[in-house]
Chains A and B, each alone.
Chain A
Amino acid sequence: MSKVVIKSENLTKVFDNNTRALNGINLTISKGEWVTIMGPSGSGKTTLLNILGGLDKPSNGTVFVDGKDITKLNSRLLTKYRRENIGFIFQQFHLVPYLNAVENVMLAQYFHSIALEQDAEEVLERVGLKERLTHLPTQMSGGEQQRVAVARAIANEPEILLADEPTGNLDQTNGKVVLDLLESLHKEGHTIVMITHDINIAKRSQRIIKLIDGKIYSDKSTRVKSKNPDKKILKNISKKIGG
């Protein structure tokens, strides 16, 4: 059995306006696992990812990452946690528009420790952008921009990659390139937690967790097929998640 990297217990998040985004999430993610979180809008996917990434704090419950409860960390230590353990991949890339590809990757290195141009170039080579090193985001396609974002996410070799709809802004071809990249990173041993609405994208991962109303509705491996799929249940789920 692989080592547990993320373990949440009774995770609850109630916003100021009394919206209950998460309602008692118990979740365990092993090292090297690629997990997809699905669910309809407002089901709590992003809130869950934000809490796992240390961008938000739960109202109740705990999140252990490598055995350490990150919900107890203060703001400074949470920043350190994000810097050292997490690589974020955003749907909208969030690249700095006036920095070229190498500099956008170097930015993550600079916030982590020391920015080394050569290392940044190597990371960009890994994501297939050797020829686009000095291009500004506006000079690149969406797929290329997202690959720069992936390069930035892995520049400091984090253990966990959190990706919120990484292909949401991309066409099919570019989306496939990014997914191939995530797959290769998964094979390299990265733990990936990804949000998507697309079941075909979700099937590239090992496990799909479906959230509805802040609760885990289902948690299934994509590798094992159900012998007797309950058509009625699947229909219901499909209806609820809008898929």
Chain B
Amino acid sequence: MLLRLLRKSLIKRKSRVGIAIISVIMGIAMVSALLIISLQVEEKVGDELSKFGPNLVVLPQTESIEVSVGDVELGSVSEQQYIEEQDVVRIEELKYSKNVRGIRGIAPYLFAVVEVNEVSNVIMAGTWFDQVRNINTWWSVEGEWIEDRNDTKKSIIGITVAEKLNLNIGDLYNIKYSSFIKMEDGNSTYFEVDYTFEVTGILTAGSDDDNRIFVNLDILQTITSKEDKVSMIQVTALCNKCSTDVIAAEIEGKLPNVEAKTVKQVADTQMQVLDKIESMMLLISIIALLASALGVMTTMTTSVVERKKEIGMMKAIGAEDRKVASLFLSEALIISIIGGILGFIIGVFIAQYIGESVFQSSISPNYIVFPMVLGISIGVTIASSIIPIRRALKIEPAEVLRSI
């Protein structure tokens, strides 16, 4: 009987019910869209912000020794320290940490000063170009990137170097590297390496990188006899609702011989932007839901006022409060389910539209949002029906029916 009563009552008052459903749809569509976006926005915003460079730099810990002669302090000297290449893998494992939302790139660097074409000293950096491309997205390379980590001939040279040494794409040039190597017996031995690279790309970075030559990490490690060593690791990691300092601390905890420094500006901007976006979304969601609740409450109150006599008659002929309440609650439930489903579907399209217009990429519907918004829809609709229902239960049949 309840179902029959509900069906007929809803059909009879379809325009009012329609308004309530539209109220719910509007609120839930907005909440669905924002939830779908917020689940992906971190990734999208992360993508956008990672274009500004790494947010963490991992350096070897340096041990300085104070040098003085008598009372005169001469300053400190420190031995050049390196990070083990295998530490890169350990940093990569951080992506499984609960604090880390994702790692955009990890680029190890080994630096060495080399003499180019016997005329000029240039800093040569050995790195992984596939990772550098993820981190330094603003790098503009004329010519070719180096795709293969095992390539031993190709190099990308900074534009300043190219101009100074008059090097063009396709040119070959010689480098000379000389250093002392510590032998097993503790003595140091001088050594020199001559090597030929080809210019495959000319880099314009607008930074110090324009003064450098970049080659694959492996070949530079071989040239410099620093196998498995790196001087620095650049990391672009996104923190899960925390400061990048937390990831830095986590890296330092994992790798005791390194120092992880946050590139404050980038890290803070990332977190601030994400926080602001999330707060804004929360605020919009709350406003949208309040508007929905108000719409439902108004409709339900109107419904109660219009049906005063009907409710009075029901109570007069013996309807218990719970049966009267269940009638209105069931109506609210139906409104909330229909509104929730349609709101979610519309929300998916809104999310898609926002994704394309703001992030220039599609946002896939996340179906985990559906039970969430359905729950929100039911909760908000039922909650906003409570006042009208209480009003219905307070109706005195003798008063509304006047003459029974």
B-contacting residues of A (Cβ < 8 Å)? Answer: 46, 49-50, 53, 55-56, 76, 79-80, 82-84, 86, 88, 90-92, 94, 96-99, 103, 106-112, 115, 152-153, 156, 162, 164-165, 195
Which residues of A sit under 8 angstroms from B12, Cβ to Cβ?
97-98
Contact indicator per residue, chain B 317-343, by CB within 8 Å of chain A (1) or not (0): 111110100000000000000000000
| Chain B residues whose CB sits within 8 angstroms of the CB of A55 once the complex forms | 316, 396-398, 401, 404
- Judge if B100 is at the interface, Cβ distance under 8 Å: no
Establish whether residues A83 and B401, one from each chain, have CB atoms under 8 Å apart when the complex forms: no
Interfacial chain A residues near B314, Cβ < 8 Å: 107, 111
Q: Are B404 and A79 in contact (CB under 8 A)?
A: no
A92 partner residues in chain B, CB cutoff 8 A: 401, 403
The reply to whether the CB of B4 lies closer than 8 angstroms to some CB of chain A is: yes
* CB-CB contacts below 8 Å: B1-31 with A: 1-2, 4-5, 8-9, 11-12
**Minimum C-beta distance from B317 to chain A (A):** 5
The reply to whether B318 and A82 form a contact with Cβ atoms under 8 Å apart is yes
| Chain B min CB distance to A84 (Å) | 7
CA distance A36 to B28 in the complex (A): 58
Q: Does residue B223 face the partner (Cβ distance < 8 Å to A)?
A: no
Minimum CB–CB distance for A49 against chain B, Å: 6
- State the CA gap A179–B321 with chains docked (Å): 33
Q: Which residues of B approach A to under 8 Å, CB–CB?
A: 1-2, 4-5, 8-9, 11-12, 309-310, 312-321, 323, 396-398, 401-404
Measured between alpha carbons, how far is A110 from B314 in the docked complex, in Å? Answer: 10
Q: By the criterion CB–CB under 8 Å, are B319 and A46 in contact? A: no
* B310 contacts across to A, CB distance below 8 A: 94, 96
Q: Are A98 and B8 in contact (CB under 8 A)?
A: yes
Query: In the complex, are the beta carbons of B318 and A53 less than 8 A apart?
Result: no
Q: Are B398 and A108 in contact (CB under 8 A)?
A: no
A99 and B317 contact, Cβ closer than 8 Å, known pairs A46-B404, A106-B1, A107-B1: no
Interfacial chain A residues near B312, Cβ < 8 Å? 94
Candidates B318, B398, B401; contact of A79 at CB < 8 Å: B318
- In the assembled complex, the CB of B197 is this many whole angstroms from the nearest CB of chain A, namely 87
Interface contact B11-A94, CB-CB below 8 Å: no
Nearest chain-B residue to A90 (Cβ)? B404
Contacts A82-B316, A90-B313, A106-B4 supplied; 9 other A-B pairs, CB < 8 Å: A55-B397, A55-B401, A106-B1, A107-B5, A110-B2, A110-B5, A110-B323, A111-B318, A153-B317
Q: Cβ of A88 and Cβ of B317 under 8 Å apart?
A: yes
Q: Given A103-B4, A111-B319, A90–B397 Cβ distance below 8 Å?
A: no
Bound CA–CA A116/B317 (angstroms): 17
Contact B319 A79 (CB under 8 A): yes
Residue of A nearest to B398 (CB): A55
